[in-house]
Chains A and B, each alone.
Chain A
Amino acid sequence: MKRIALFSVTLLLLTGVIPAFAAQPIKIGALFAITGPASFLGEPERNTAQMVVDEINKKGGIKGRKVEFIAYDTQGDATKAKQLVNKLIKNDKVSAIVGPSTTGETMAILDDVEKAGIPLISCAAGSKITDPVKKFVFKTAQNDSLAVAKIYEYLKKKNMTRVAILTVSDGFGSSGREQLKAQVANYGIQIVVDDTYAPKDTDMTSQLTKIRGSQAQAVICWGTNPGPAVIAKNAKQLGLKLPLFMSHGVSSKKFIELAGDAAEGIILPSGKVLVADLLSKNDKQKQSLISFVKDYQSHFKAEGDHFGGHAWDAVMLLKHAIGRRGEAPAAIAAELEKTRNFAGIGGTFTFSPQDHAGLTKDAFVLVEIKNKDWVLVK
């Protein structure tokens, strides 16, 4: 009897307790705006990050160690982000953090991660996140400046030098407007009308009438749905003949659905995820893109978008960095900085001590809307 008891105790120890000593999971934290006004960013980001982590664990983890993924919802609120980042650092003791979703939240927590020395890979687009460079802060979302450069490059090629810009009066629009104005000199372009609209406006015919009466050769509109769809419809109503450019903020099927026939012929810069299957075989990102789109479709019955892609890139970058030199936060940051030519969803990343954003304007392609679908602009 005694022997049997001893045997079962040993068995219990062997099966239950000992493996727990063997493999402590690697802890990765995440802050996303899963609910609230920025949930269109945070929700696909959380879904994607969780999906990638599950996938990694299914394949045996990173060097045999499981990954524990701890995600908190910031609701798009910078104050919440600040509280939660401290929770991740002090209570959960994570090795690295993915997110937050918006520029405002990211700016609010920069000091905390820098002081704690925990690497952060933000999924927000604002260029000021990594400019100037901070030792532990990286980002995966493409800078607005790259999208602007892509449009201006095209205009220059077509010999169009006078543009009208119509930007939304929120964070996304004003950052776009700054970039549009800052880069004109590099391309010999002149802004002849500089107008704005409010995010909830339902009629922009006044602004477009003013543009119609000007010398502009093209219109560039910078905003997120639904404003640009209203502008497309208004432009069609007014019979505006000028070519209409949009930002990457509307690079989703939703825009085509909202604008209907008025979307035809509109040109916009977009991350490559939208046109993954149209890319040439030589494109380095093609493999990552196709696998992301397919995985997302099978997990969530929805099309993967470039917002989810930012989280995909962040988790994969971490995976490679940890795979090379382990999970010590300082080692992760050092290894991230050494990333060269990582073909992700948002683009091909090459970080350096001077550049923690890692992308060039090749991260974007110009697409045109034809027959309610995207075609690549050559």
Chain B
Amino acid sequence: MNLSDQLIQFLLSGFATGSIYALIGLGFSIIYNATGIINFAQGEFVMLGGMVTVFFLTSLHIPLPAAILGAVAITTFVGLLFERLAIRPIRKATPINLVIITIGGSILIRGLAMLIWGKDTHAIPGFSGEEPIMIGNASLLPQHLWIFGMTTLAIIASKVFFNYTISGKAMRACAFNPRAASLIGIDVKRMVLFSFVISSAMGSVAGFIIAPLTMTSYDVGIMLGLKGFCAAIIGGMSSGLGTVLGGIILGVLESLGAGLISSGYKDAVAFIILLLILFIRPQGIFKRAESERV
């Protein structure tokens, strides 16, 4: 197998992993855009999406589509509870306090998941079988197509929502200036709650869609959450294409790094990019610098 064939496989693998990061990153940017806080419990929503699906499939023997719907419903409910019990009571706090609260929340959710389901890793069968699809000499799994499809759907939906619906515009207004937003009659608290509901639902979608590929356990949320955060930062916390491109850049660089240099540097690649961007272009590589920081 020659180098160009290998390169195509590296790019394809990177693209697939990157789409996963992008889907998770979108969850981060939605809450950031509505509230100005970074929700570090986002990775736990991803974990819940996968683990609840596994629970429904293996313990209750519910068919896959129903198990998935159930997992999204439960994760969304957890997101709603999380906002109600941990974020809303201290809305007057500074963003940094809230960010730390989300870290605490993520540890709590992870701990509860461990107590309920134990520490084992679980797998879900692929949605459309596991026969690889060959593209030249490179290959993909049918599950990757599900991920691409779901990520595309998520970008389109969030684009439409934030730019063309009243609720979406109201949410953006809240992030920009909560006081002004409430003065013109937007219910800020409801918008914040709403943003947690959307992003926990989106996290759970990422969770069940990647579970057949990467498998799931109570602690997958940490690393996936951090990679998603990385993707969102590269994309400048945009709730659309920026984050998606961020995720794909990250995935491709990781894959090339592991394939051409050494896999030891794989995670280092991600976090060096994260640090560089935070130092040099904190607004992300696709956004023009804002004159006013929110």
Q: How far is the CB of B165 from chain A (nearest CB, A)?
A: 34
**A210, B223: Cβ atoms closer than 8 Å:** no
Q: Does B141 contact A (CB under 8 A)?
A: yes
B132 CB contact (under 8 Å) in A201, A202, A238, A254:
A238
**A210, B259: Cβ atoms closer than 8 Å:** yes
Most buried by A among B10, B13, B210, B222: B13
Q: Does A262 contact B (CB under 8 A)?
A: yes
Given contacts A226-B215, A238-B139, A239-B139, contact A205 B121 (CB under 8 A): no
Given contacts A203-B17, A230-B215, A237-B141, contact A209 B259 (CB under 8 A): yes
Among listed A91-99, A190-198, A288-296, A360-368, interface-contacting one: A190-198
**B17, A237: Cβ atoms closer than 8 Å:** no
A212 CB contact (under 8 Å) in B1, B141, B214, B217:
B1
Chief secondary structure at chain A's binding surface:
helix
Q: Does B273 contact A (CB under 8 A)?
A: no
Q: Which residue of B lies closest to A205 (CB)?
A: B13
Q: Does B128 contact A (CB under 8 A)?
A: no
Q: How far is the CB of B20 from chain A (nearest CB, A)?
A: 8
Q: Does A352 contact B (CB under 8 A)?
A: no
**B139, A262: Cβ atoms closer than 8 Å:** no
Q: Does A281 contact B (CB under 8 A)?
A: no
Q: How far is the CB of A232 from chain B (nearest CB, A)?
A: 11
**B132, A236: Cβ atoms closer than 8 Å:** yes
**A209, B6: Cβ atoms closer than 8 Å:** yes
Given contacts A203-B16, A206-B258, contact A195 B263 (CB under 8 A): yes
**A207, B121: Cβ atoms closer than 8 Å:** no
**A213, B125: Cβ atoms closer than 8 Å:** no
Q: How far is the CB of A30 from chain B (nearest CB, A)?
A: 21
Q: Which residues of A contact B220 (CB under 8 A)?
A: 200
In the bound complex, what is the Cα–Cα distance between A200 and B125 (angstroms)? Answer: 20
In the bound complex, what is the Cα–Cα distance between A206 and B9 (angstroms)? Answer: 7
Q: Does A187 contact B (CB under 8 A)?
A: no
Most buried by B among A169, A202, A262: A202
In the bound complex, what is the Cα–Cα distance between A210 and B7 (angstroms)? Answer: 10
Given contacts A207-B263, A254-B121, contact A213 B2 (CB under 8 A): yes
In the bound complex, what is the Cα–Cα distance between A236 and B14 (angstroms)? Answer: 18
In the bound complex, what is the Cα–Cα distance between A237 and B143 (angstroms)? Answer: 11
Q: How far is the CB of B124 from chain A (nearest CB, A)?
A: 10
- Identify which of residues 256-294 in chain B touch chain A, using a CB-to-CB cut-off of 8 Å: 256, 258-259, 262-264, 266-267
In the bound complex, what is the Cα–Cα distance between A298 and B213 (angstroms)? Answer: 35
- Residues 132-149 of B, flagged 1 when their CB comes within 8 A of A and 0 if not, give 101000011100000000
Q: How far is the CB of A220 from chain B (nearest CB, A)?
A: 16
In the bound complex, what is the Cα–Cα distance between A206 and B125 (angstroms)? Answer: 23
In the bound complex, what is the Cα–Cα distance between A257 and B217 (angstroms)? Answer: 14
The interface size bin for chain A is 35 or more
- Identify which of residues 166-210 in chain A touch chain B, using a CB-to-CB cut-off of 8 Å: 169, 195-198, 200-207, 209-210
**B6, A210: Cβ atoms closer than 8 Å:** yes
Q: How far is the CB of B136 from chain A (nearest CB, A)?
A: 12
**B123, A258: Cβ atoms closer than 8 Å:** yes
**A203, B214: Cβ atoms closer than 8 Å:** yes
Q: How far is the CB of B144 from chain A (nearest CB, A)?
A: 9
**A198, B259: Cβ atoms closer than 8 Å:** no
A207 CB contact (under 8 Å) in B134, B139, B214, B259:
B259
Q: Which residue of B lies closest to A229 (CB)?
A: B215
Q: Which residue of A lies closest to B16 (CB)?
A: A203
Q: Which residue of B lies closest to A225 (CB)?
A: B121
Q: Which residues of A contact B263 (CB under 8 A)?
A: 195-198, 201, 204, 206-207
**A237, B139: Cβ atoms closer than 8 Å:** yes
Q: Which residues of B contact A238 (CB under 8 A)?
A: 9, 132, 139
Q: Does B255 contact A (CB under 8 A)?
A: yes
Q: How far is the CB of B113 from chain A (nearest CB, A)?
A: 15
In the bound complex, what is the Cα–Cα distance between A202 and B209 (angstroms)? Answer: 13
Q: Does A233 contact B (CB under 8 A)?
A: yes
Q: How far is the CB of A37 from chain B (nearest CB, A)?
A: 8
Q: Does A260 contact B (CB under 8 A)?
A: yes
**B130, A236: Cβ atoms closer than 8 Å:** yes
**B215, A258: Cβ atoms closer than 8 Å:** yes
In the bound complex, what is the Cα–Cα distance between A236 and B213 (angstroms)? Answer: 12
A258 CB contact (under 8 Å) in B20, B119, B121, B139:
B121
Q: Does A261 contact B (CB under 8 A)?
A: yes
Q: How far is the CB of A194 from chain B (nearest CB, A)?
A: 10
- Identify which of residues 158-176 in chain B touch chain A, using a CB-to-CB cut-off of 8 Å: none
Q: Which residues of A contact B9 (CB under 8 A)?
A: 205-206, 209, 238
In the bound complex, what is the Cα–Cα distance between A169 and B134 (angstroms)? Answer: 30
Q: Which residues of A contact B214 (CB under 8 A)?
A: 202-203, 230
Q: Does A39 contact B (CB under 8 A)?
A: yes
Q: Which residues of B contact A230 (CB under 8 A)?
A: 214-215
Q: Which residues of B contact A209 (CB under 8 A)?
A: 1, 6, 9-10, 13, 259
> With contacts A196-B264, A206-B263 known, what are 18 further pairs, Cβ within 8 A?
A200-B220, A200-B222, A202-B20, A202-B210, A202-B224, A203-B13, A203-B214, A203-B255, A205-B9, A209-B1, A209-B10, A212-B1, A213-B6, A226-B215, A239-B132, A239-B134, A258-B121, A262-B130
Q: List 9 A–B pairs whose Cβ atoms lie within 8 Å, in order of A's numbering.
A: A39-B119, A196-B262, A197-B263, A203-B16, A203-B17, A206-B259, A239-B139, A259-B123, A260-B123
Contact surface of A with B, Cβ cutoff 8 Å: 39-40, 169, 195-198, 200-207, 209-210, 212-213, 225-226, 229-230, 233, 236-239, 254, 257-262
Contact surface of B with A, Cβ cutoff 8 Å: 1-3, 5-6, 9-10, 13-14, 16-17, 20, 119-123, 125, 130, 132, 134, 139-141, 210, 213-215, 217, 220, 222-224, 255-256, 258-259, 262-264, 266-267
